[in-house]
Amino acid sequence: MLLFDAGSDQEGIHSLELSGRTVVLLFEQRDDAERYAGLLEAQDFPTPSVEALERDEMELFCTQAGYEARFVPAGFLPTTAEDRLLIAPPEQNMDTSLWREGEGDSAQNQNGPAQALESEPISSGDAELEAFRRRLEGLL
């Protein structure tokens, strides 16, 4: 997955706004994620770092947070315009000054604001999963 400002107070997860859904891309191959990050940078978007996280845990987190996790397998070939966004970012990105100035306001993605999470905490009862969930919520 792609993270912005990894390890900082403004750490965030890369997402896309597709047909009213906030989508988080989960790349099978690190090379594909690095290529996508390079394409973002080429569009004058801040370069995200590539982080390896467990797919099952990310999918669970996204589901609980109201986001859609979209797996991008190795060798993926798009068949639709929306599929194309899984291997190359849209030509127009969000104005990064908006999400960098927010510092703690609602999360932002490259096309606009992500949906704010509800204030009610989500609990699984598993301490390790809860710690992972809190870390990921910090990314959003």
90, burial (CB in 10 Å: exposed 0-12, middle 13-18, buried 19+): middle
Structural domain boundaries, residue 36? 2-139
Q: pTM, whole model, 2 decimals? A: 0.65
pLDDT tens per residue across span 55-69: 999 999 899 989 999
Per the structure, the count of domains in the chain is 1
Closest CA to 140 of 9, 1, 12: 12
pLDDT-above-90 percentage for the chain = 29
The reported pLDDT for the residue numbered 126 is 61
